[in-house]
Structure 1
Amino acid sequence: MIPICDNIRTRSKPIINYWLIGINIAAFLWELKLERSEELGYFVSNWGVIPAQINAAITNALFNPAAWIVVFWRLFSLLFAMFLHGSFSQILGNLLFLWVFGKTVENFLGARKYLGLYLVAGILTEISQILIEPNLTVPIIGANGAIAAIIGAYAMKFPQTKILTILPLIIVYIPIELPAFFYLFWWFIQQLFYGIGSLNIPPAGVNAPSLAYWTQIVGLFVGMAFMRLKR
């Protein structure tokens, strides 16, 4: 199922949503450039979220105060990694959901709160990934946790809103309407296909199918809780 749009009219242009989509696209184009020059693996190793490296940096800083600068550098990756993606299917899926659901959520919350929800949910998701699998050495990248928060917020506020959806059946595409709440479940199902069109990121790729990667459900609950408090 491919969501296309909802029937809610927005009062103003979702500028922050446009900027988030643009930054994600620009970052992915940069990744493609680095892939051609065989520098992508090094880049992702430095800017992706690697739980084992972050935990090692924090442990070292406890005994060596000068090492806190390394901790701050590693923690900055929590923000930067949200704008990196490991495959064409991952970025296309994320930005499609952001385009469909983000504009309405931004219109309801306002630009500043919408941006705050996006960033905070993404960072909290990454922190949960670090806590659950502290020894994971494979980088975790992508806006999945932040997008999950946007979907959660939308479904909490507009659960019965009909989403125009395309149902592809081989060469036939059937337009249907599905309630927004349905996408709370479909979001996690379609994660299984995010390996399609993967970039070449040595040595071990990114986003291993581990428990940590699936903790993006934290983002979903953050979005739902935020919207509930907003009522």
Structure 2
Amino acid sequence: MIPISDNIRCRSKPIINYWLIGINLAVFLWELKLEFSGQLGYFINSWGVIPAQISGAVTNALFFNSAAWIIVIWRLFSLLFGIFLHGSFSQILGNLLFLWVFGKTVENILGHRRYLGFYLAAGVMIGVLQILAEPNLTVPLIGANGAIAAILGAYIIKFPKAKIDTVLPLIILYIPIELPAFFYIFWWFVQQLFYGIGSLNIPPVGVNQSGVVFLGQVVGLLIGAAFMRLKR
């Protein structure tokens, strides 16, 4: 299922959504360049969210060396930057497609600045949750999945009866259909199973190899839904 658009009319241009899509694409193109030059593994392991590194840095700063807070601050920056990193073509395409369809409408409801804050805050909160859930994990966790799951949760609460224009690919045929927005909660999790397709070469151990990633998607939906409920 490929979502194309919804039936909600926006009053203003989703400028922030356009910028987020553009930045994600630009960073992914940079990743491709680094992969070609053999530097992508170092880059992802330096800027992706690695729970063991962050939890270790915080422990060291709290109990052993107060000067280590400088390292903690640098490591915590990965919580923000990691939102814009992706590990495969299927992950970047799937995430940006959902961002395109659902993000523009949520931005229209929240306004530009609040939407940007919501997107970034949701992504960082998911990263913190992942660190707390698996503090010894040494594999980088990257991607906008948590932030976009929050956008989907907010959308469903605000527009539970919205219809999504969808393309159903059948081998060489593409059939246009209309599906309820609620269907895409289910489809969001289904498409996560295919995010390994077109994976980039990220040595030494790849990325996102943990069940905590799935947990982050669930919590992202709940964060978005709760936010929109409280806003009402």
Both structures adopt the same fold (TM-score exceeding 0.5)? yes
Q: Which residue in 1 is equivalent to 2:36?
A: 36
TM-score by length of 1: 0.98
* Alignment partner, residue 119 of structure 2: 118
2:179 maps to amino acid: L
SS at match of 1:138: coil
SS of structure 2 residue aligned to 1:147: helix
| Residues 9-33 of structure 1 deviation map (CA, whole Å, 9 limit, x = unaligned) | 1111000000100110010011011
The C-alpha deviation readout for 1:188-214, integer Å capped at 9, x for no partner, is 111000000000000001111x22111
1:203 maps to 204
Give the deviation of 1:159 after TM superposition: 1.0
CA distance in 2, matches of 1:200, 1:37: 11
1:153-190 deviation per Cα after TM superposition (whole angstroms, max 9, x unaligned): 11111011110111111111111111111111110111
Could you tell me how far 1:61 is from its partner in structure 2? 0.9
SS of alignment partner, residue 141 of structure 2: coil
Match of 2:231 in 1: 230
Larger deviation: 111-120 or 141-150?
A: 111-120
Partner of 2:177: 176
Cα shift at 1:226: 0.8
Q: Is 2:182 the partner of 1:154? A: no
Q: CA deviation at 1:143?
A: 0.2
Contact 1:50 1:136 in 2 (8 A): yes
What's the TM-score once normalised by structure 2's chain length? 0.97
Q: Distance in 1 between matches of 2:37 and 2:61?
A: 34
Paired with 1:29 and 1:100, the residues of 2 have a C-alpha distance of 22
- Counterpart residue number, 1:219: 220
Q: Separation in 1 of the partners of 2:140 and 2:53?
A: 10
8 A Cα contact 1:132 1:211, kept in partner: no
| Paired amino acid for 1:56 | G
Identify the residue that residue 61 of structure 1 maps to in structure 2. Answer: 61
State the 1:215 CA deviation.
2.0
Separation of aligned partners in 2, 1:160 and 1:89: 28
Runs (4+) of structure 1 moved beyond 3 Å? none
Deviates more, 1:54-63 or 1:13-22: 54-63
Letter in 2 for 1:162: K
Indicate if the aligned counterparts of 1:7 and 1:161 stay in contact, CA closer than 8 A.
Answer: yes
CA distance in 2, matches of 1:176, 1:169: 12
2:132 maps to 131
Alignment correspondent of 1:143:
144
**Secondary structure of the structure 2 residue equivalent to 1:196:** coil
Q: Distance in 2 between matches of 1:39 and 1:60?
A: 29
CA distance in 1, matches of 2:198, 2:70: 36
* Coordinate RMSD, CA, aligned: 0.7
Aligned length: 230
Unaligned 5+ segments in structure 1 are: none
Q: What SS class does the counterpart of residue 41 from structure 1 fall into?
A: helix
Q: Distance between the aligned counterparts of 2:179 and 2:110, measured in 1?
A: 23
Alpha-carbon distance in 1 for matches of 2:67, 2:173: 61
CA distance in 2, matches of 1:75, 1:3: 34
Alignment partners' CA distance in 2, 1:198 and 1:89: 8
SS across alignment from 1:177 = strand
1:64-111 alpha-carbon deviations (Å, 9 max, x no partner): 001110011000000000000000000000000000001111001111
- Secondary structure of residue in 2 paired with 1:193: coil
Q: What residue number does 1:48 align with?
A: 48
Q: Distance in 2 between matches of 1:195 and 1:100?
A: 22
Structure 2 unaligned blocks of 5 or more: none
Q: Secondary structure at the match of 1:90?
A: helix
What secondary structure does 2:182 align onto? helix
- Which residue does 1:14 correspond to in 2? 14
